[in-house]
Structure 1
Amino acid sequence: MIDNAILKNVAKHISLDQDETAYFLSILKQKKYPKKSNILKEGEICHTINFVQSGTLRAFYRDTEGKESTIMFAISDWWITDMSCFISQQPAMLNIETIEESTIFHLQKEDLDELYIKIPKFERFFRVIMQNAYIREQLRVIQNLSLSAEQRYHIFLNKYPQVAQQVTQKQIASYLGITPEFLSMIRSNKNK
């Protein structure tokens, strides 16, 4: 049974009638994943954009030396994919994995393209989603260039308190571009 969460997410930006709702739900694939499952591996073709019904996911890049850099997190009611590779249908640059048991709705690229034709208002929905993501990432880049690690950590805690509770300190450090040891120093200074 499909949870109402995805329909509430869509309703934030567009209204659907009964037939449109039925069609949209018919093209979604729901899957439950255990903790530490791969949703997408670097090098695979990125076929889906994913809605998190429940759980927590992490998208990360792994360099040639095996160092992981967290690019984004996704919790319930968020969308996640390797957007560049999803749009171009190229091999993924990112890995996406579950941090905890998660239930995901997958929307295939070809189904999304058809959705835009059959229900054009979905172009508006995904435009708003992508605009918001672009703004968030642009602000993150500016913060990384202009703010200290401590300032970025406090912004992260204030902006994403739910995420901070569901991920490890190592993953937060990876997202902030600092070592876990440096994050521990920041956290211990905060508690003084």
Structure 2
Amino acid sequence: MLTNFFKAIDKVVLLNEEEKAILTSLFQIVNVGKGDFLLKEGEICKYEFFILKGLARTYYIDEVGEEHTAMFAFSGWWTGDLISFQKRSPSKNYIQTLEPSTIIRITHSDQASMFKLVPKLEKYFRILFQNRVVALEEALEARQSLTASEVYHAFTKKHAAYMKQIPLKHLASYLNITPGYLSRIRSKKKY
């Protein structure tokens, strides 16, 4: 069940069987349905999540009640509210599954234990954090320098396998455009 999880880690640091057993004891496997919440606004994020299979989105609701999708988490990705998780503060975000999903999760205290028991995982999480920052900077740069159409086409090319699972209203929210404008972009043929 955790094969894909260990493959993701092994791309950065190699784990022996004893270390894998430690991780297996610290992480919980959870099956969740479509539309289930992993986190709601106001809650303290108790877990970091790894999507074994499925799809989730992180979003927030602004002062006028509009949803704004901040990110999607695909199979093989980590998700969570890092600020809430690290600071133990109430989250401003929701994390919701967009399809039935199998996730693994680890608590803040179990993560601290993991770093003591398997110190090389600090390197893995440092690189993971660096990759998150790079991805956020690239997304910000793309949104500032590319048209909505260019951002849409780049996103669909990169995540083609998931496009049928992402409702258009959530994709439009992620792109910071209206669903109507997204429909117009999608209806234009790319030459």
Q: Give the TM-score band, short-chain normalised.
A: over 0.9
2:67 aligned residue: 68
**Which residues in structure 2 correspond to 1:32-71 (within 5 Å)?**
32-71=31-70
2:120 & 2:2 partners in 1: Cα distance? Answer: 22
Q: Which amino acid in the other structure matches residue 71 of structure 1?
A: A
Q: Which amino acid in the other structure matches residue 181 of structure 1?
A: G
Q: Which amino acid in the other structure matches residue 64 of structure 2?
A: E
Q: Which amino acid in the other structure matches residue 69 of structure 2?
A: T
User: What TM-score comes out, normalization by structure 2 length?
Assistant: 0.95
* Structure 1 residues not aligned, in runs of 5+: none
1:180 aligned residue: 179
Tell me the matched-pair count.
191
Deviations 1:153-175 (CA, angstroms, capped at 9, x unpaired) = 11111222223232111111111
User: What TM-score comes out, normalization by structure 1 length?
Assistant: 0.95
How big is the shift at 1:75?
1.4
1:27 aligned residue: 26
2:150 & 2:33 partners in 1: Cα distance? Answer: 34
How big is the shift at 1:17?
1.3
Q: Which amino acid in the other structure matches residue 101 of structure 1?
A: P
2:141 aligned residue: 142
Deviations 1:128-154 (CA, angstroms, capped at 9, x unpaired) = 111111101101111111211111111
How big is the shift at 1:191?
6.4
Q: Which amino acid in the other structure matches residue 132 of structure 2?
A: A
Q: Secondary structure at the match of 1:92?
A: coil
* Structure 2 residues not aligned, in runs of 5+: none
2:142 & 2:17 partners in 1: Cα distance? Answer: 43
Q: Secondary structure at the match of 1:45?
A: coil
Contact 1:61 1:95 in 2 (8 A): yes
1:104 & 1:10 partners in 2: Cα distance? Answer: 15
1:97 aligned residue: 96
1:110 aligned residue: 109
How big is the shift at 1:25?
0.7
Poorly superposed stretches of 4+, deviation over 6 Å: none
Q: Secondary structure at the match of 2:163?
A: helix
Q: Which amino acid in the other structure matches residue 104 of structure 2?
A: F
